[in-house]
Structure 1
């Protein structure tokens, strides 16, 4: 596939914008994940392109694999000790941290039913978009696994060997969500130390068949630090939108139609049920209300 084809969704396309500040839902945590699935259905059914911003405040987002830790309850106690609420997301992977210095952002794209988007192609769209954002700063991110980071993967984004972002995907019928968390500012060392302590408490030195990272805070950094500039989450969001506009994309506010809300309600109940199953008595009841 040529570079032009890889960048196709990033230029001369129309996008609908959904973000946390416009959500008509009282729950501001699990709602993000339920809405993602609803928007995936909507994008696939109506062949729409969607930009979804969903920053969170003080939330550890666990992957389903994390629940397999042999001392999972002890690991959760570590998060409680840090004063961090937590939920289990509806996809694989491992724990990531969301707080006021982290931007969660998704490109939700339709698939051609006759020609599915390759997994790597989805990752490349997001990486290209972030690198377009970074160009004015004279920096370029590289994509490869930063093994001792939290939630390591082939599409960890790093500058000078330090990870500042991680990309994942979720797919439903005819829709692809390419999701990224970007550590924009804040105390990245503390975030990494917390997840390191989480896994240490959950493993207690035991060897298991699943791979959990030995988190080293030194291999991660914020984008603000790596660029050497002051940068806020809102500024990063605006840089992403400006880059799409500069690539001749149009962006309009998305509407929470009755169809989207109905799908959201189904997804919300599924997320509640999953967290009840995975967390049992350890569920954070405030987050699930």
Structure 2
């Protein structure tokens, strides 16, 4: 099995900085990444994309099947959060202005390993913070737990998911950059409490312990901003010999994006109207 590394990918990358679109729906980002996946599969494009969405809870498909999910969504709405159901794997995560999402999108097929994609992203983050000891392992008690949770001193600050569409692979990470990680975790904990109540569930949802989550600013005792972290990502890739070319979608690509947005929006509504 092949492993994806920077050396196996093209050296010219598209760079899309969507960090200023904080007020837009996160469904737009999932449609954008699916479009980039489609372009990776059909044209061999490689992309780095940075994105931020404010006051949003992104639910997994399994979350949408919780017995009292609509009560949970109402609780979140009362706290000022909108809820969307994403089209990649995983469970609920919280997005706000202090959470940076990065997507690495590249061509691949079934011979590319799932772990290889995760390792590509975790390796990038480790190079961005060389002075920190970052572990990639599941942090029990975190929201959306997985074996590639990124943590410092046992506290999770990032989680990775992966999406494969038409020959393209998108590896997506959320990075809690500023703010208080435990406060975010407490909000997600309250969602599960309301959405589950005392009913049995078909899957094991996380028993969240807010104290196991933190932001990079808390863990590094540094005055980091989202823009600082975007710059770190770009610097690492450029040091790897990659050329990042800022570019928006062309008119033809916008048509592909519109189709993908319809699909992810329809799926979101379908998941919440079972």
TM range (shorter): over 0.9
Please tell me whether residue 234 in structure 1 is matched to residue 231 in structure 2. Answer: no
The aligned counterpart of 2:104 is 107
Corresponding position of 1:129: 124
Aligned to 1:286: none
CA distance in 1, matches of 2:191, 2:34: 28
Taking the aligned partners of 1:29 and 1:195, their CA distance within structure 2 comes to 17
- The question of whether the paired residues in 1 share the 8 Å contact of 2:2 and 2:111 is answered with no
1:158 aligns with one of 139, 143, 151: 151
Task: Give 1:273's aligned residue.
Answer: 266
Q: Secondary structure at the match of 2:62?
A: helix
Equivalent-residue separation in structure 2 for 1:101 and 1:120 (angstroms):
27
Alignment-derived partner of residue 201 in structure 1: 194
Runs of 4+ more than 4 Å apart:
none
**CA distance in structure 2 between the aligned counterparts of 1:196 and 1:261, rounded to whole angstroms:** 38
Superposed displacement of residue 2, structure 1: 9.8
1:120 is aligned to 2:119: no
- Give 3-state SS (helix, strand or coil) of 2:203's partner: coil
Contact between 1:59 and 1:98, CA under 8 Å: does it hold in 2? yes
Using the TM superposition, give the Cα deviation of residue 8 of structure 1 relative to its aligned residue in structure 2, in angstroms.
2.3
Question: Which one of 244, 247, 252 corresponds to residue 251 of structure 1?
Answer: 244
TM-score by length of 1: 0.88
Counterpart for residue 284 of structure 1 = none
Structure 2 CA distance, aligned partners of 1:253 and 1:242?
Answer: 14
Provide the C-alpha distance between the structure 1 equivalents of 2:54 and 2:241, rounded to a whole number of angstroms: 32
Q: What is the number of residues matched between the two proteins? A: 273
| Unaligned ranges ≥5, structure 1 | 282-289
Aligned to 1:211: 204
TM-score by length of 2: 0.93
Gaps of 5+ in 2: none
